[in-house]
Structure 1
Amino acid sequence: MNYAQQLWQTLSHSLNPYCAFCSEQRLPNYPLCEHCHADLPWLLPEQNVPLPGCINSLSAFAYQPPISNLLLSIKFGKNLREIATLGELTATGIFAQLTTSPEAILPVPLHTARLHKRGFNQALELARPLAKQLNIPLLNHAITRSKFTLPQTELDSSQRQRNIHAAFQLQSPLTYQHIAIFDDVITTGSTARELASLLIAQGIEQVDVWSCARAVLRQKHELTPQIDYH
């Protein structure tokens, strides 16, 4: 988060006493009022099941309104205030279930062409409050996305895995033993698994996958189709 974003977040907290979702008084040092906080689709602990391959997974929300609406607004509207708000809410949901802190957070990187078009990496921006509160680094440049992939929503599960295969490249050695990959939304988990495989191949002993939102489980091992930004 650059200086302008930090300043905006600080001013919005100090000068705006109202909930980010409604006109009610917000909770102290928190962007929402009590009622809006309670109405959010917080993901239940039993829904944070490991991804296929037994990768630990932790998400703050089910991918449902208003969280899904906020993510779309961030993607298309580039609303800095909404990024900051959703980042804080994500940190609240993750911390409520966190038992072991990683040594670093790796936001899922965007391909440079997509990054230039969008202007920012939403996974990176949403992960900033988590890294700040845990006092651990964000690995923003350690891995790049070297392969420009097709939108995952156009593909079935097996096609998604092939689409994302070998999409990432290590740019600098990693000396950590426990890293959390962070994405905005987890659907099938193909992107996260590909990144996790790369990290494990580099000798990382524990890899977790965190996200703002996750597609709600419809049946055991089955995810409802949702938007995948990568």
Structure 2
Amino acid sequence: MPFIYRWLTSVQTQLLGPRCVLCRAPASLARELCGDCEQELPWLTHACVHCALPLTGTVGITRCHRCARQPRFDRALAAFAYDQPIRWLITRLKFDGRLAHARLLGDLLAERVVHAGLDAPEMLVPVPLHPSGYRRRGFNQSERLARRIARVQRRPVASGLVERVRDTVAQSTLSADRRAANVRRAFVCHGSLAGRHVAIVDDVVTTGQTALAVARCLRTAGAARVDLYCVGRA
């Protein structure tokens, strides 16, 4: 299916020129998104600086109630609220192999990271898939996103640094109170990160338990600062 999609997309581009992935209007080849659709995306402009949870009310409030007590990450940034059409773009990427969506979403996330003025990490750590999950999908969407950010930040993508050692049940199928247990001891970190600054990259964060499990793994390996970048935040 991914091969057929890429082939059809290539033929269409050659015959008709690049088209917006959302409305099929003419678009630039680099972005594959028209200006109108880009403006209408659910950009996340007011969120907790430590977990990217969307915030309501006073703009001066920068932390959610939980992170005001104990920050979950040193810094966190999400480009979008996890609403349509971001939900559709990510779903089609993960389950239909539309890798062009990873390029688009990764570039948009990279621009938000740069615009936020965050200190660049020493390395980017994509949330890993279990080997069986990788075989089923054929790629890791978080790694694809991280590669796009790496092009802008000029930092390495540490794809093999963290390994998923348990093939856990999909978090989306579980209630919020069961998600932490599902990913407990699911990740191991290979090597020392003493004093290092790293950033976790994921496609979607809902309760944040998966990213937190990866963060604990990185801190156990000695990381001094752990940030989080994600495309969508629920």
Distance 1:146 1:28 in 2: 39
CA contact (8 A) 1:25 1:33 kept: yes
Separation (CA, whole Å) in 2 of partners of 1:135 and 1:176: 20
What residue in structure 1 maps to residue 47 of structure 2? 47
Q: How far did 1:137 drift?
A: 0.4
- Is the 1:88–1:129 Cα contact (8 Å) retained in structure 2? yes
Q: Quick one: which of 91, 95, 102 aligns to 2:121?
A: 102
Q: Is the 8 A contact 1:104 1:176 kept in 2?
A: no
Structure 2 SS opposite 1:173? coil
SS at match of 1:183: strand
Matching of residue 79 in structure 1 with residue 79 in structure 2: no
Cα drift, residue 152 of structure 1: 1.4
State the shift of 1:65 in Å. Answer: 0.7
Aligned residue in 2 for 1:38: 39
Q: Which moved more, 1:156-165 or 1:22-31?
A: 22-31
Choose from 184, 187, 202 the match for 1:168: 187
Are 1:153 and 2:172 counterparts?
A: yes
Question: SS state of the match for residue 47, structure 1?
Answer: coil
Q: Which residue of 2 aligns with 1:200?
A: 219
Q: Following TM superposition, by how much is the alpha carbon of 1:149 offset from its aligned partner in structure 2, in angstroms? A: 0.9
- Counterpart in the other structure of 2:27: 26
Give the Å deviation of 1:171: 2.2
Task: Decide whether the 8 Å contact of 2:204 with 2:231 is kept in 1.
Answer: yes
Distance in 1 between residues matched to 2:167 and 2:195, nearest whole Å: 27
Question: Does the alignment pair 1:115 with 2:134?
Answer: yes
Structure 1 vs Structure 2 CA RMSD: 2.4
Q: Distance in 2 between matches of 1:179 and 1:212?
A: 17
Determine if contact 2:194/2:224 at 8 Å carries over to the other structure: no
Bigger shift: 92-101 or 139-148? 92-101
Deviates more, 1:187-196 or 1:47-56: 47-56
CA contact (8 A) 2:130 2:163 kept: yes
- Cα distance change of structure 1 residues 23 and 157 upon mapping to structure 2, 3 Å threshold: closer
Amino acid at match of 1:118: R
In 1, Cα distance between equivalents of 2:199 and 2:112: 15
User: How far does residue 183 in structure 1 lie from its aligned partner after superposition?
Assistant: 0.7
% same residue: 35
Figure out how many residues of one structure are paired with residues of the other and give that number: 205
Match of 1:125 in 2: 144
- Return the offset for 1:113: 0.6
- Please give the TM-score of this superposition, normalised by the length of structure 2: 0.79
Q: Cα deviations across residues 138-176 of structure 1 (Å, max 9, x unaligned)?
A: 010011000111121232333211111111112233366
Letter in 1 for 2:20: C
Displacement after TM superposition at 1:105 (Å) = 0.5
Q: State whether residues 198 and 223 of structure 2, in contact with CA within 8 Å, keep that contact through their aligned partners in structure 1.
A: yes
Partner SS for 1:162: helix
Question: For 1:122 and 1:28, how far apart are their aligned partners in 2?
Answer: 21
Secondary structure (helix, strand or coil) at the match of 1:26 reads coil
Does the CA contact (< 8 Å) of 1:181 and 1:210 recur in 2? yes
1:178 aligns with 2:179: no
Contact 2:194/2:221 (<8 A) preserved: no
